Structure 1
Amino acid sequence: MKTLKVSFLTAFALGIVMSGCSGSKSNEELTFKDAFEGKFLVGTALNVEQVAGNEPKAIEIAKKHFNSAVAENCMKMENIHPEEDIFFWDEADAFVEFAEKNNMHIVGHTLVWHSQAAPWIFVDENGEDVSREVLIERMKHHIQTIVGRYKGRVDGWDVVNEAIEGDGSWRESKWYQIIGPEYIELAFQFAQEADPEAELYYNDYGVSGKAKCDGIYDLVSNLLEKGVKVDGIGLQGHLNFDIPLISEMGASIEKLSSLGVNLMVTELDMTIVPWPSDEVTAEVSLNYELSKEYDPYSEGLPDSVYQEVMDRYTGFFEMFLRHHEKITRVTFWGVHDGNSWRNDWPIEGRTDFPLLFDRNYQMKEGVENILEMAKNWETN
């Protein structure tokens, strides 16, 4: 039995459930896409095995609950463009076809990123850095080949991913070192040329931090002043159990929305297990040793911790609803706990509980309160 501890937000949501609403769907019938209809799209990342039909229960959840889909890995450079003259289309094609068949808003992820880049992209035959001109041409070919293939089919692209550091400065990636800060402007330009109708996004983590939010604001503001087509900013929602504060993320939404672009909460999940660093980051290169200290819930999540998690998720969604006119989409990074990257990053082999469907493909207890809160938001 779950703990009787109930926060203000959970009590608020429970009150909605108990009071009911004429014409609303029952708890069993209500889905994410129904509950948030008219506020924003609700999406999920899909992996290759799911799209291939090897996890039918996960696909059933995706089709029932979500109206947007993003490719978790198959469109990243190391997967789709592993060698200079070779593109591997099978998995990305299957993803786009699945999303089209199920009338989902489709997001391509990601065109330019310092991580999971193909090893060949930055070097010549001798292993030395290529020239600025060569890398620009390679980037153009990469972007325009992929975006061009899915022209008119993919609704929006994460064009550039994670270019700003936590202190608001430029990340000195190989893209930055070889091309300079202009690489971002060029990336958006190349994507627009390949599909003028697709939405183009900048995507980053840690946006709740003031310095990073300011850095992203300055970056996008500068691009817009130059006439560069930037349609939206993705605020990655890789949350920890205690940080960021809900108010901090809300403040970032307020600031970035003043740019006049769409905002999306992307890659939403919440790690429950202890964090092994003082740094709040989604840097995929981090790797720590597995220990019981950092894997305390391998036998299951205590009721008291579970309640705290649901209270925190409820609080974030209440904040998203308050800002729904500024937000066009909220996307979870995975369908259920069992296939979340949080189990293996930054410590391989842990048991985490970061999503709102459990390892048995069941909606978690308390999620229906979030859905009812969303469904009845206009009456609040």
Structure 2
Amino acid sequence: MQKNELAHRMADSSIKLVDGAGNPIAGQEITLRQTNHKFIFGCGIFDAIPVANRNVPADRLAFLERKLDLFLDVFNGATLPFYWAMFEPEKGSPKIPELQTAARWLKDRNVSVKGHPLCWHTLTAPWLLDLGNEDILKAQLARIERDVTAFHGLIDTWDVINEVVIMPIFDKYDNGITRISQDLGRIGIIKEMFAKTRECNPGATLLLNDFNTSINYEILIDGCLNAGITIDAIGIQSHQHQGYWGREKLEEVLERFSHFGLPIHFTENTLTSGHIMPPEIEDLNDYRIPDWPSTPEFEERQAREIDEMYSILFKHPLVEAITTWNFSDEGAWLGAPAGIVRADNTPKPSYEILKKRIKGDWSTNMTVTTDESGTVSFHGFVGEYELICGDRKISFQLEKDTGTARLVI
């Protein structure tokens, strides 16, 4: 991919170095090193919870710490789980401290954190079924108020409500959220959940998230916007257990959802390094087999597909985030070899290609020399940088409108 195809990801800037007296520092060799991207390269990394809380045996902790080191070497975004059934299995006993510790651990390592999800009919609190619909809605809104407030400043991006296209017609099992979505309607429940989340954290980035990429999701988004609901980003799940979408479908999905003019986040991306799930499986959850191995041949295929998909998405001007759903094969959804590292923590080719792209091809690192006015000009990917001059290090941000920055050495 040529860098001119990524002009929207880059900016021009000048840096003027001066000494304490304001005199320009001419002829000085400096290194500019990108330390973080503005673009979110994310991953579902639930293992951050036991690592941050250090609540597992020492040998297990050491294994998970090695896994997290691999994660931190590539990604700058993390998704943490807020599935109500596991977050608050007993009413009144939410796992707020554990998740706060994990979010803080990640944030301290310059990783932005997203909470997933605040409202979903699957894995919702089982005790909601003991309540009437009016009280279910009150409990759901109270849950949002409590959790969004508790994590303000630690988690400022939320999948507010998940998979609403199917929510009111979901019939696998009874649950409280489907009940109230039938009462309120799809747009009605979205409006309630977004309004409460916005009230509790006005500056948060709020997503509507769905696996359904048909016209039904487009109609739902259009209805929300016409109802005055402010959606900060459209979340698109892309679990591809039944095979890679391919360039044609990916570009077609991007074209259809781009007409809203909203940022797009690919929130849950899966490409396996094993055999492809049979096409006749309608609900991915129905495919359960005892062993789904990763193989060298399919690992190479996974790497090629991830490379192409990330390249297409990174090139698109409205895409602001891509989240690989499973970092490791260990514990991956459906038992699929869906990670970019194997169950033993060894990196797959897909890990290596993502690291090459994110930390190499799509990063800016250079050594330059200031001119007679103490200035250097450069063109780089937007994000966070470190300027190294001798034994001094100065951090700065490169944005589209940075212009000339004056730094004192």
TM-score range, shorter chain: 0.7 to 0.9
Q: Secondary structure at the match of 2:128?
A: helix
2:306 & 2:118 partners in 1: Cα distance? 30
Q: Which residue of 1 aligns with 2:196?
A: 190
Alignment gaps of 5+ in structure 1: 1-8, 13-32, 125-129, 344-351
1:66 & 1:304 partners in 2: Cα distance? 25
Provide Cα deviations, 1:157-191, integer angstroms capped at 9, x if missing partner.
001111114xx996573332243321111111111
The 5-angstrom pairing of residues 1-380 of structure 1 reads 37=37, 40-47=39-46, 48-53=49-54, 54=61, 55-71=64-80, 73=81, 75-124=82-131, 130-131=132-133, 133-165=134-166, 171=170, 173-181=178-186, 182-207=188-213, 212=214, 214-240=215-241, 242-271=243-272, 272-276=274-278, 278-279=280-281, 281-282=283-284, 284=285, 286=286, 288=288, 290=290, 295=291, 297=293, 301=295, 303-323=296-316, 325-343=317-335, 352-365=336-349, 367-373=351-357, 375-376=360-361
Between structures 1 and 2, the one with greater strand share: 2
Amino acid at match of 2:203: E
Q: Which residue of 1 aligns with 2:407?
A: none
CA separation of 1:51/1:223 partners in 2, compared to 1, >3 Å: closer, same or farther? same
The alpha-carbon deviation at position 367 of structure 1 amounts to: 4.6
Kept in 2, the 8 Å contact 1:358–1:364? The answer is: yes
The alpha-carbon deviation at position 122 of structure 1 amounts to: 3.5
TM, length-normalised to structure 2: 0.69
TM superposition outliers: structure 1 runs of 4+ over 6 Å? 33-36
2:125 & 2:43 partners in 1: Cα distance? 25
Q: Secondary structure at the match of 2:313?
A: helix
CA separation of 1:311/1:201 partners in 2, compared to 1, >3 Å: closer, same or farther? same
Work out the percentage of aligned pairs sharing the same amino acid.
19
Kept in 2, the 8 Å contact 1:82–1:88? The answer is: no
The alpha-carbon deviation at position 322 of structure 1 amounts to: 2.6
1:192 & 1:296 partners in 2: Cα distance? 42
Higher relative contact order (CA closer than 8 Å, sequence separation 6+): 2
Q: Secondary structure at the match of 2:301?
A: helix
CA separation of 1:364/1:338 partners in 2, compared to 1, >3 Å: closer, same or farther? same
Kept in 1, the 8 Å contact 2:205–2:233? The answer is: yes
CA separation of 1:329/1:34 partners in 2, compared to 1, >3 Å: closer, same or farther? farther
Q: Secondary structure at the match of 1:140?
A: helix
Kept in 2, the 8 Å contact 1:152–1:195? The answer is: no
The alpha-carbon deviation at position 218 of structure 1 amounts to: 1.6
The alpha-carbon deviation at position 96 of structure 1 amounts to: 1.4
CA separation of 1:277/1:34 partners in 2, compared to 1, >3 Å: closer, same or farther? farther
Kept in 2, the 8 Å contact 1:234–1:263? The answer is: yes
CA separation of 1:109/1:169 partners in 2, compared to 1, >3 Å: closer, same or farther? closer
TM, length-normalised to structure 1: 0.74
CA separation of 1:327/1:239 partners in 2, compared to 1, >3 Å: closer, same or farther? same
Amino acid at match of 1:93: Q
Larger Rg: 2
CA separation of 1:238/1:85 partners in 2, compared to 1, >3 Å: closer, same or farther? same
CA separation of 1:89/1:35 partners in 2, compared to 1, >3 Å: closer, same or farther? closer
Alignment gaps of 5+ in structure 2: 3-32, 55-60, 172-177, 364-379, 381-409
The alpha-carbon deviation at position 85 of structure 1 amounts to: 3.2
The alpha-carbon deviation at position 342 of structure 1 amounts to: 3.8
